[in-house]
Amino acid sequence: MSRIRPRLTRRQLVRRAALGAGALAVGTLRLPRAAQAANEVNFWASGTLDIGDDGWKIFANDSEVKVNFTDNGNDPGPVVAKLAAGNANDIYDVGGLQGGSEKELAKRGLIAPWDLAQIPNYSSVWEWAKNIPYLTFEGKVYGIPTVVNADSMIALRNRVGNVDSYGVIFDRKLRGKTAMEDAWINSVIFAAIYLKNSENAKISEPGDLAADELGLVMEFLIKHKKDRQFRTFWNGWEQALQLVANQEVWVMTGWEPIVYAARRRGLDCYYAVPKEGYEAWSNNTILLKGAVDRGLSKTAHQLANAFLSGFYGCKLGTLRGYVVPTDNNVAYAAAHASAFDPAAVKQLSEHVKAKLTGKVYWQNTRPANFQLYEEWWQRLRNA
Amino acid sequence: MTLNPIVGDRTSGGRPLFAIITALCLMIMYAPTLYLLLASLNPDEQLGLVAPTRYSLTWYVALLDDHRMFRALEESAVVALATAALATPIGLAAALAYRAMTRMRSIFLLVTLSTVLVPGTIEGLGLSAVLRLVRVSPSWVTVTLGHLLWTLPFATMVSLIGLLAVRPSTIAAARDLGAGPMRAFVDVTLPLIRGSLVSSFVFAFLLSLNEYARAYYLVGRQNTLPLYMFGAMNSGASPTIYAFSGTVLVASFAAVTLIFFRAARRQSGPPGVSVAISKRTEKSN
Amino acid sequence: MPEALADRRRRAAFFLALPSLVVFIGIGFVPLALVAIWSLWSFDPDTYWIKSVWSLASYAALLKSGRADVLLQTAGLAALTATASTLLAVPAATVIGLLSGRRRATLLLALFTIPFFTSGLVRAFAWRLVLGREGIINNVLMSLGVVDTPVEWLLFSDFAVVLGMVAAHLPLAIIPIVLAFARIDSSVIRASQDLGAGFWTMFSSIVLPLIMPGVLAGFLFVFVVAIGTSMEIQLLGGAGASSIAIMINDVMRVVNFPLAFAIATVVTILLLVVIIVADRALELSRLFEDRGA
């Protein structure tokens, strides 16, 4: 009878015993959960809204709100599912995600409206940010715009020169050298913007396509996919950055901070200024009903207020190049010139403002035909 | 005692052929793994290889400060250990039950296997909805429950394979010699299936450690390691996650080498009649 | 006497089966039932949730937009991965279980297990850097002069996906086969040698049949894990490649939960059917039965 594993038994036994003892100790230490402090908030948001442990520490000192940040994976699907059917309302207090789902979450009573009287800094928010349609429902504000930006394309200058139109993504000469994001939320808008403005397609609202308009745009994308125009579609930051940094792709639609990160690694990379316009988006802070039930409403409002008070915006700008839509950032940097470069903060702020007051089309996770969008995207996947 | 000395050299080219395929398997598995190890020594922020002169432990040092990753690792370790500790005995019991059953065994096996066929996201969502209804608050316990559903079928099948090495004649012999059923189990069956029990534990541990979809819906406030990794890759990871993989690799290799050298000195013969045979063949090993 | 023995056996079987049945009924079955029920209800456009109106609309939607194709393609990919993994695993497991002393066997097993301790996501991501245009393989090929321009199909292709999936799941196939070697008795090998059988005859007529349960289990493990995964497909596949898990996620993004649940229910039932059919056709469960005393 062969006995192959006795040696492994001893090794595993030793390892198992050590780990087991350690884990049991740790596990029992963590079982009785301390009651949540009155000024502690569990913030469940996209990683784009994170300022790191040291950032949150300073934030807590300034605002007297201690934030426990948990990454929600950035995909609105599982986030909404966890809110709708799962336990997100039991364990988190404030959420942060892409805009568009506020209406349905409000309708189902999963989020609570913000009381603007408790958020004095709200008045400093840029007007057009306040007016983003999906933030309000039945006259009440459910989403506080926390990060706004306008997206276009990332391009490698030494490969494609200076581009100013989304047409390059679909250019046959660049076959196999372009990419788009694997999400209809962004990619359909980009294609629609291009078709509307450069190929005079009959499209009225690129962010909210009618059924036939959607068919037009999707057939366009499907044709190019079948022609092997795209090297790939990307999901998430690290994938996108890797495509550019390794020159796997020469031009692609994507997020602006990728350009900053690529430049830091020595690439001659720039963010295109397309003549067809930008795609605007916002990540917003929402108040979960569970927090209100647990009596944390006041602290949550303090948190929202603190997001807009300046430090958070400066820190986020430095870390990622994202902008909180308020002028308080510039004021804060001016007052704390040792921590943040006031000129840089101002420049970033003006840059984003300029983009967003120019030609932009707003992203929306819930266009009128949103389920049709997904059906078409599925067909694109199968193509 | 292994079969190797009996097979000896008479393999008509089987040994070299199989060795080449095994080497190919190892190459395939280690290509990304070793790349990660080397790339983690790159002090730049971007993942990639650099010349050995530039190797640096920057990210390993930074790893020490990455408290969020450690908390996630701790959570994952607890869940994985609990899952493996539960799945192994329950899987063994299920395997024993299967062998003792007659007519019901197919249905029983299908029932135990069914939970692994459900897509993870949906199983996690469904279970979290049910747990919410019965007011169980999410924590590492709920994640363990979800992972138990995922790993139990694997543990059961591994135990089934292990039990194949236990012949009814051996058990019958032990019973004839006066051993009761428990005695026969502990003294005869258990030693024979030790390998599969360990494998069952390690399987369940590793499957749980890497599981993402179910955990997403079942976690409490503390993310598990795969959730942390996923979030980091989506929103801007610092290369510490690659240093982490490198650490795991180096630590595992070190552990294996250590135990290997200690075990190499030990001699342990299998129980029963084959001791004499093993001693004889050990000399020729 | 025989009846008492059979009774004792049945009672023992019942108690032994109890823990796993408790697990299944307690936490396995209820969520499945809930999911199945929800899949038969309808999407409510007012609340973007589910309303308790019975309807087969979700199942009908499964037959549109190429969703059924995704099920078949993912199953095909999983089967291909499982086959490739098993074909590679049998020789590797034979080296470990038949052609190695204890030391080497332990070492090899450890080597095959260790990468699993690192994150699968990070490993799959690393393949992009190995197979990419500026990746290791292309660099080597170009510096050796084998190709002039980087090989494009190494990455973002079916090749990359299968390679990544096999690399990720190989240990799942190897370990069950290695365990199955424990049932091979040295006397059987010796007997075949005494009868003059060569290695290959012995391997095909003695070793392979005896390790078949392990081979089968390995195939099943890889298949089951591969059919539910999305990492390698997303990271290494072509533009917008799909899988069952990706499709479910897409559908959940548009809060069409009944459809997501319908997909899951259909997948579960189909896989059960496949297992039942395979069991009957190939008499698979006999592989795990007691050998005659």
- B58-88 pLDDT per residue, tens: 889 988 888 889 999 999 999 999 999 999 9
Average pLDDT over residues C255-259: 91
pTM of the model: 0.89
> Residue B282 has what pLDDT?
47
d(CA B243, CA B101): 50
CB atoms within 10 A of CB B64: 10
* Contact between C103 and A7 using a beta-carbon 8 Å cutoff: yes
Nearest CA in chain B to A27: B78
Is the pLDDT reported for residue B123 higher than 70? yes
Are the C-beta atoms of residues A209 and A189 closer than 8 Å to each other? no
Contact A302, A181 (CB under 8 A): no
Q: pLDDT digits over B40-50, tens only?
A: 888 887 777 77
CB within 8 Å of chain A, chain C residues 104-143: 105-106, 109-110, 125, 128-129, 132-135
Chain B hits for C200, CB-CB cut-off 8 Å, are 12, 14
Instruction: Tell me how crowded residue B251 is: count the other CB atoms within 10 A of its CB.
Output: 12
Closest to B31 measured CA to CA, from C11, C136, A144, A26: C136
Listed in sequence order, the residues at least 6 apart from C258 whose beta carbon sits closer than 8 Å to its beta carbon are C38, C39, C40, C41, C42, C43, C50, C55, C57, C58
Q: Which residues of A touch B222 (CB under 8 A)?
A: 70
Structure tokens at C247: 């499709």
- Option in C24, C163, C213 nearest B115 (CB): C24
B193 close to A (CB below 8 A): no
A168/C41 Cα distance (integer angstroms): 45
Q: C102, C73, C77, C92: which is closest to C215 by C-alpha?
A: C92
Residues 6+ apart with CB under 8 A from B247: B60, B63
The predicted structure's pLDDT at residue A92: 94
**Are C239 and A76 an interchain contact pair (Cβ–Cβ within 8 Å)?**
no
Q: Which residues of A touch C152 (CB under 8 A)?
A: 176
Three-state SS at B51: coil
Asked if A196 has any chain B CB less than 8 Å from its own CB, the reply is no
Compute the nearest-CA separation of B262 from chain A (Å).
10
The subunits that touch chain A, with at least 3 C-beta pairs less than 8 Å apart, are B, C
Residue A74 at interface with chain B, using a CB cutoff of 8 Å? yes
Q: Do A265 and B236 touch (CB under 8 A)?
A: no
Q: Mutate which of C30, C118, C208 to test chain B, going by most B C-beta atoms within 10 A?
A: C118
**CB-facing half-sphere around the CA of A210: CA atoms within 13 A:** 7
- Distance CA(A262)–CA(A244), nearest Å, equals 7
Which residues of C fall within a CB distance of 8 Å from A80? 252, 255
Residue A343 token pair: 């000129």
Pairwise CB contact (< 8 Å): A73 & B230: yes
Task: Place A15 in a pLDDT band, splitting at 50, 70 and 90.
Answer: low
CA C238, distance to chain mean position in Å, is 22
Strands C49-51 and C42-44: antiparallel
- Tokens in use for C1? 């006497």
Question: What digits encode the pLDDT tens for the residues A163-199?
Answer: 999 999 999 999 999 999 999 999 999 999 999 999 8
Length of chain A: 383
CA distance B171 to C12: 16
Q: What is the rounded average pLDDT for all residues in chain A?
A: 88
**What HEC string does A6-39 produce?**
HHHHHHHHHHHHHHHHHHHHHHHHHCCCCCCCCC
Tell me the average pLDDT across A40-57.
91
Strand partners, A323: A148
Q: Which residue of A has its CA nearest to B222?
A: A70
Helix (H) or strand (E) run with residue B36 in it? helix B14-39
Residue A231 is nearest to which of C47, C156, C252, comparing CB atoms?
C156
Q: Is residue A28 pLDDT above 50, yes or no? A: no
Is the CB of B129 less than 8 angstroms away from the CB of A53? no
Tokens representing residue C99 in the block:
């052609």
CA distance A202 to chain B (A): 35
What are the distances in angstroms from CA A174 to CA A168, A228, C92, C221? 7, 10, 44, 42
pLDDT above 50 (res B259): yes
Do A182 and C234 lie within an 8 Å CB cutoff?
yes
Measured CA to CA, the distance from residue B253 to residue A151 in angstroms comes to 45
Nearest C-alpha in B relative to C33: B126
* Beta partners for residue A95, in sequence order: A44, A286
State the Cα–Cα distance between residues B208 and B203, nearest whole angstrom: 8
Q: How far is CA C93 from the centre of its chain?
A: 17
CA distance B92 to C22: 15
Beta strands in chain C (DSSP E): 42-44, 49-51
Split at pLDDT 50, 70, 90, the class of A305 is very high
In 3D space, the residue among A285, A319, A282 whose CA is nearest the CA of residue A301 turns out to be: A285
Instruction: Identify the residue with better confidence: C87 or B36.
Output: C87
d(CA A186, CA C235): 19
Q: What is the Cα–Cα distance from A163 to A273, expressed in whole angstroms?
A: 8
C235 contact residues in A (CB cutoff 8 A): 239
Angle made by CA atoms A328, A334, A336, in degrees to the nearest 5: 100
Written as six digits, the tokens of B176 are 């004839």
Shortest CA gap C10–chain A (Å): 30
Give the minimum alpha-carbon distance from B109 to chain C in angstroms, rounded to a whole number.
9
ipTM reported for the complex, 2 dp: 0.92
A10 interaction partners in chain B (CB closer than 8 Å): 259, 263, 266
- Chain A partners of B85 at a C-beta cutoff of 8 Å? 20
Between A20-29, A207-216, C207-216, the lowest mean confidence (pLDDT) is in A20-29
pLDDT surpassing 70 at residue A14: no
Tokens at B250, concatenated = 């180096």
pLDDT in tens, B212-249: 999 999 998 899 999 999 888 888 767 888 889 899 89
Mark yes or no for CB contact A86/B125 under 8 Å: yes
Average pLDDT over residues A238-244: 91
Query: Distance, in angstroms, between C265 CA and closest chain B CA?
Result: 8
Helix then strand then coil, in percent of chain A rounded to 5, is 50, 20, 30
Q: What count of Cα atoms within 13 Å lies in the side-chain half-sphere of residue C23?
A: 31
Residue contact B114–C199, C-beta within 8 A: no
d(CA B227, CA C9): 45
Interface of B with A in 4-43 (CB under 8 A): none
Mean residue pLDDT of chain C comes to 89
Q: Give B 205-244 residues with CB within 8 A of chain A.
A: 216-217, 220-223, 227-228, 230-237
Across the interface, do A7 and B259 touch by the CB < 8 Å criterion? yes
Cβ distance A374 to C253 less than 8 Å, yes or no, reads yes
Determine the pLDDT at residue B265. Answer: 66
Residue A304 pLDDT > 50: yes
Tokens 């599912």 correspond to what residue? Answer: A81
Question: Chain B closest CA to C47's CA: distance in Å?
Answer: 18
Cβ distance B235 to A47 less than 8 Å, yes or no, reads yes
Check if B282 contacts A (Cβ < 8 Å).
no
pLDDT at residue C37, as a whole number: 93
CB contacts, 8 Å: C181 with chain B: 3
* Facing C235 at nearest CB: one of A239, A246, A247: A239
Q: What is the mean pLDDT of residues C184-196?
A: 86
Chain A interface, best mutation among B221, B225, B245, by max A CB count within 10 A? B221
